Amino acid sequence: MSGSWTIQKLSENTVRTGPALVLLKKDGSRISYSWQCYEWQVGQTMSSLKRIGVSENDFVVVAAPNLPESFFVLLGVIAVGAIPVPINIPILKEPGQGEFLSIIKDCRPKLILADSCLSKYLSSVEHATFGKLLFHGRIPPSLEFDKNKSNPEALLIMPYTSGTTGKSKGVMLSEENILDRVSAVTQELDADSQERILSYLSLGHISELIATFFGQLYGGFCVYFTEYAKDVVENREKFRAAFPTILQAARPTIFLAVPKVWANIRKQIEHKTRYIPVDLGKQGLIRNYLVSKIKNRLGFDETRRFISAGSKILQEDVNFFAKLGIHVDDIYGQTETAGPLTLNGKAIGNVSVTSGEDDEILVSGPNVMTGYYNNPEVTKRILVDGVYRTGDIGIWTTDKVLYGGRLRDGFKNAQGEFVSATKIEEMEDKIRKIPGVDEVIICGDGKPYPVALVFSATPSENLRSRLQKTLPKIENSLFRIGNFILADISTLETTATLKVKRNAMIKKFEKEIAKL
């Protein structure tokens, strides 16, 4: 993108046709917000923040559920010249709020902001609610951004990494980083102002920020929200049950989901079609009618692009949806690269993706972060001469690279043999196909054989018996599973994008693993 573009210019020059934001109410009604209303609310936020004393380069922690007010506040913080630190809301429910408090201690924010539905989770810290900003400010004559944007490398936003393998780190993303990826992915998807996109993934995650919050400023499309977003923290099952109805109301033209969501949608389809003797993979009038009906029930009748991001999607899920005419594009990227790097293995936009030692994926370009906040040692280790070391293994072909697991997720067994992350991924994918298995983690550092941590919503004796018979038959050239632990899915810890916290789970079950 041209260096002359800025967040302010995007907000000024966006093609504005139709509503900017739509909130779907639980009673079936909806509230539409025009672009003028959006700008008005951002102006309110700016006025309130200035009155409180927030100024340029202050950090402002934002606990933002997927609601229109969150967009008003995020853009208002940026407009006043401060730096939003969006957090993943699920960390507020963690016992002791260790990760949340460590973020507060690390960035020392000027202000903590939250929607009123989250106030009870913030009783231990001083904070302000969105409502106080939006209804107690004085509206400036026009929306003028205070921050000096002549320097594209200036810090714009600082999300924290999800911490799947260790302590969360503040990722410093500049305006150049964000605009490079927003322009790349919007152009790659050929998105325009007529799109409808549902915002429901965590606004603390870079994929959601690029797709909806920043993406809308670039593309001028309409973002849909649901009132059920307030239930995500209290009752995720309530939100999940309402999700098909939400999709039907939004009818997105572009749909973004993490692999776990795709897996859940597949399970719902399989459950509802289990008694219908039709091969979805074979063309025919009955099959075509059924596929059309499934798409309509999912709200996908006008969806033209289906995206998976956040982690690796199972190929069997991709194949399943392909039978329905739903072709899922796989986006690979990281917070440190301002999100999307590749689409179906091919680099998008102005970015270089190359192979390093041990097939590690290396990235360079205007999208690479400026570094980790307050963490120069780690920054120096993973940013070498402007090249970002992802720590991910790449599976390389002539013109593309596919994600092959984390370098450090491999382990050495008691015989000194190294089991790579790629081999572990292959085995885990096979185990997930066993009926009743919802998630699996293979570990075995220093043990004579690998151990599988198997998680299920129905950890019955029947499943245990099935695993005892099936696991010994699943093997590759290096190893086969020697033993397993069966646990309830409720004990599984995941990030905001439903990626498994591998190290945390291995630590949680270390006593049980040691006994095997």
Q: What is the pLDDT of residues 220-267, one digit of tens each?
A: 899 999 999 988 777 778 888 899 999 999 999 999 999 989 988 998
- Residue 436, domain CATH: 3.30.300.30
Give 99-122 pLDDT, tens digit per residue. Answer: 899 999 999 999 999 998 898 888
* Its pTM surpasses 0.75: yes
Quote the Cα angle for 490-496-500, to 5°: 55
Q: What is the DSSP string of 100-150?
A: HHHHHHHH--SEEEE-GGGGGGGTTS--EEHHHHHHS----SS----S-TT
C-alpha distances (whole Å) from 186 to each of 216, 254, 414 are: 9, 11, 49
pLDDT of residue 399: 85
Asked whether residue 132 is assigned to any structural domain, the reply reads yes
CA atoms of 4 and 157, how far apart (whole Å): 19
In 3D space, the residue among 246, 234, 223 whose CA is nearest the CA of residue 24 turns out to be 246
Asked whether residue 459 is assigned to any structural domain, the reply reads yes
Provide the CA 468 distance to its chain's centre, in angstroms: 35
Asked whether residue 454 is assigned to any structural domain, the reply reads yes
Of 181, 202, 218, the position where a domain reaches its end is: 218
DSSP 507: H
pLDDT of residue 423: 80
pLDDT of residue 1: 35
- Residue 70, domain CATH: 3.40.50.980
Of 193, 218, 243, the position where a domain reaches its end is: 218
Asked whether residue 482 is assigned to any structural domain, the reply reads yes
Asked whether residue 504 is assigned to any structural domain, the reply reads yes
CA atoms of 312 and 404, how far apart (whole Å): 9
Asked whether residue 110 is assigned to any structural domain, the reply reads yes
Of 218, 250, 275, the position where a domain reaches its end is: 218
Asked whether residue 387 is assigned to any structural domain, the reply reads no
Give 385-406 pLDDT, tens digit per residue. Answer: 999 999 888 988 888 998 887 7
Asked whether residue 71 is assigned to any structural domain, the reply reads yes
CA atoms of 457 and 440, how far apart (whole Å): 12
CA atoms of 330 and 400, how far apart (whole Å): 12
How many structural domains does the chain have?
Answer: 2
Give the domain extent around 466. Answer: 410-515
Q: What is the mean pLDDT of each run of 10 residues along the chain (516 residues)?
A: 50 67 95 91 90 94 95 94 93 83 95 91 88 69 55 88 72 95 94 94 94 92 94 81 94 95 90 73 76 92 95 89 94 95 95 90 96 94 93 88 80 71 83 91 84 92 92 72 91 81 88 86
Burial 50-83 (b: 16+ CB within 10 A, else e): bebebeeebbbbbbbbbbbbbbbbbbbbbbbbbb
Q: Which residue has the tokens 């509206």?
A: 139
pLDDT of residue 189: 94
